[in-house]
A and B are shown apart, each in its own frame.
Chain A
């Protein structure tokens, strides 16, 4: 008696990876950095992450419904959560709640779904959102806190919540007393007044290489990034070239004019460079697909970041650099096509 079977296409093995698995691993890799962030700068960042995730999932649901897509399938891919977390990590910890709302509106609705949803967006949604709020609300986005170890007064969880939701500090505090320039801001401001980098670095916000606290957060981001490399979620090309070009170009600048250029490692360990190198510029959707393309993409982001930091109007340039390279990615891919076997 013969038996009938259901058929299916080859290969028959179960899938090796899933998008949601990739996204969850990216989130997991961010955990050490987030813990360090909370340790140095208080619980504000956790609330920003939570807010951004809630808004992101809300907009994602809305847009999936409007676009008549499978809710369970696409909400389950975790991509909106990754966008939200990466965006939140760029915010000052006490930014008011509506910053996350506006950011996620631009990230999920505009940068992602209006371009065709998952996999179709030309620009990195988290960076689009960050640049929009940075340009639109420069004052709010400049309210950075010093590491808790330096701060005279630190905020409790309750006070942090009130500040984020009301937009006002508790009565006994003022922004002038608690906010502090970021290390990159400090260097920029000092250089503007004709000081040397070495003088700027006298400020207590600096650590061994980058900003106090910041450099440790960067270390933990790097740790997560290395884990992603080991898990083969990301390839080495972009982080290597991005950090490598910053170090290389930074070294040239430092050797040529140590007065107005910090040591290269200062660049590496300040701002969003490490986060960008491992988590943002490695976004596959908006980056290059070919190996050579990724090398060029990474170098491009690194060089543009340094150029913006040195000559641009903003202290950090990672977001702008990533967006500029996003634009160039399709062109780079076109000209870095690998040679086909036997041709």
Chain B
């Protein structure tokens, strides 16, 4: 298939639905958190806002201790423009810049801006773009960049980077991902049900910002009320270029690559981006953040968080500010039940366990899941692989997990690269079905880290080699040049001497001639 064919097929996204390989049909468990309406969280006594909340290096604090800040004021600067700036969740005083647990998958601590609210919750001066429909797209993208928006589906990739790249490459279709395929999580469903207008608005702004012609909003077949809500919002907005597509709930169809495959039948090239197919994929919550940033001028300081699981008394969805300690959210939901056993940030398949509920809510926190004893896997011994191949059957990336596991444990790094370790999306399907209970995903994360550091080492070695060779070449060159100069000088001296000798001879000759004549 040529690139042109691919683009043509990608333009027909959503007209016909396709399948992706493998995946799992999991029990949804979403209803329990959808029964109560969305509720905003009250202000906590203190906010702990981590400076690392996106994929990339930590932001730099640009506030000092004792300083008062206004709600929405920038308190952290991204290392590159547009890469993850951080804003104050409320007005108050900066009490400390402390190293604390930051709800990071690594479990490591990071720098947090500790803010004590003054209770006024006073916004900074907001600078919305009033007439976004006529504003230049670059201005819209700049606004997205300044508002600290990241992908709210959980990957927290800076939206501005994605949007800039997309608009450079040329995008025909914007896909809004509303299919939260992981069990328990319902924050996107709640958002689509309660604020469909802002999603449609965000879609139209994003569409303008990247120059796309149309938008597809992908939702799941088990989200009954959502379809109608979105339909009504589309009709009301009068936008003719927004389609709502219902996809079958199979985990992990909410993964960017899987969703694109379902909608277009195309695979995003290995190592490539959706923009290679003229597509841009954004989470629905990211679209509302964009709408709020552009139309109201408000940066990203809050998000919807699903607080759920058998370990929570009254599961529900909360609108929480970034930096709120998780324990406050738990209290708001009636506290833990007796058998709460594990605290997870994210879903049960890809989320990571936190060791304490003093961790703050971060931009990636789509779900706080508290599982009870009987929901989680008991500590169990790992058995040897029996090569049953179940892992390969469920792998959406068409990998051979059992082979990769074997290669990683034998440190055959070149082989793992050949077998596509870096194409693993860490969805955990293989891990879930493995009868030997091998923690495959942990092995693959470890392997990917090793591959990355190996690549860095190789790059450094290559650079060092190049530097060395450049130096050698330079030394050889200067040596040659010096020699040439010396030779020239010698030649010049020789010529000079010759000239002098000839002169002397001529003088001698003329003298002797004169003498003779005399």
Interface positions of A (Cβ within 8 A of B):
1-19, 21-22, 70, 73, 77, 117-120, 235, 284-285, 287, 289-291, 294, 337-343
Contact = CB atoms under 8 A, between A and B. Distances in A.
B270 A340 contact: yes
Contact of A19 (B267, B268, B435): B435
A64 to B, nearest CB: 13
B392 A235 contact: no
B385 A119 contact: yes
B432 A16 contact: yes
Contact of B336 (A3, A7, A9, A235): A3
B82 interface: no
Contacts of B21: 341
Contacts of B358: 2
A11 B390 CA distance: 16
B351 interface: yes
A119 B436 contact: yes
Nearest to B441: A10
A19 B392 contact: no
Nearest to A1: B327
B375 interface: yes
B398 A285 contact: no
B376 A118 contact: no
B434 A10 contact: no
Nearest to B371: A12
Given A4-B356, A11-B350, A19-B383, 14 more contacts: A5-B356, A6-B342, A10-B349, A12-B376, A15-B434, A16-B433, A73-B381, A235-B393, A289-B400, A294-B389, A337-B400, A342-B270, A342-B272, A343-B420
Interface string B384-402: 1111111011001111101
Interface in B381-425: 381, 383-390, 392-393, 396-400, 402-403, 419-420, 423
Interface residues of B, number: 69
A33 B183 CA distance: 41
A11 B392 contact: no
A290 B400 contact: yes
18 contacts: A5-B341, A5-B356, A6-B342, A10-B351, A13-B377, A14-B376, A16-B432, A22-B386, A22-B388, A119-B385, A120-B384, A289-B387, A289-B403, A291-B392, A337-B400, A340-B397, A341-B423, A343-B269
Contact of A119 (B268, B325, B374, B384): B384
Interface string B336-372: 1000011110101111111111100000000001010
Greatest chain B CB density within 10 A among A11, A14, A118 is at: A11
Given A77-B383, A119-B387, A340-B399, A11 B356 contact: no
B248 to A, nearest CB: 19
B410 to A, nearest CB: 13
B384 A7 contact: no
Contact of A9 (B396, B400, B442): B442
B428 interface: yes
Contacts of A12: 342, 344, 348-349, 351, 353, 369, 371, 375-377
Contacts of A14: 374-378
B432 A13 contact: yes
A94 to B, nearest CB: 34
Given A10-B349, A13-B377, A118-B384, A5 B400 contact: no
A18 B420 CA distance: 27
A1 B376 CA distance: 25
Contacts, number: 173
B356 A2 contact: yes
B224 interface: no
A11 B438 CA distance: 11
Contacts of A16: 432-435
A19 B386 contact: yes
- Could you tell me the dominant secondary structure of chain A's interface residues? loop
A22 B435 contact: yes
Contacts of A8: 342, 353, 376-377, 379
B431 A11 contact: yes
A17 B442 CA distance: 19
A13 B349 contact: yes
Contacts of B343: 5
Nearest to B27: A13
Contacts of B377: 8, 12-15
A13 B398 contact: no
Contacts of A119: 383-387, 436
Contacts of A338: 392, 398, 400
A184 B366 CA distance: 65
A10 B398 contact: no
Contacts of A77: 383
Determine which residue in A8, A10, A13, A77 has the highest number of CB atoms from chain B within 10 A of its CB, and name it. Answer: A10
Nearest to B369: A12
Nearest to A233: B388
A284 B389 contact: yes
Contacts of A22: 386, 388, 435
A293 to B, nearest CB: 9
Contacts of B385: 119
B235 interface: no
B54 interface: no
Nearest to B377: A14
B257 interface: yes
Contacts of B350: 10-11
Interface string B420-456: 1001000010011111110101100000000000000
Contacts of A339: 398
B380 interface: yes
Contacts of B442: 9
Contacts of A18: 435, 437
Contact of B257 (A13, A70, A73, A342): A342
A11 B403 CA distance: 20
A60 to B, nearest CB: 14
B389 A289 contact: yes
Contacts of B393: 235
Interface string B82-117: 000000000000000000000000010000000000
B428 A11 contact: yes
Contact of B349 (A11, A70, A118, A340): A11
B507 to A, nearest CB: 86
A257 to B, nearest CB: 39
Contacts of A284: 386-389
A280 to B, nearest CB: 15
Contacts of B423: 340-343
A70 B353 CA distance: 29
Contacts of B419: 337, 340
B29 to A, nearest CB: 10
Nearest to B385: A119
A19 B433 CA distance: 11
* A-B pairs with lowest CB-CB distance, top 9: A119-B384, A7-B353, A2-B358, A342-B270, A340-B420, A11-B428, A17-B435, A284-B388, A341-B397
A4 B432 contact: no
Contacts of A15: 377, 380, 432, 434-435, 437
A59 to B, nearest CB: 18
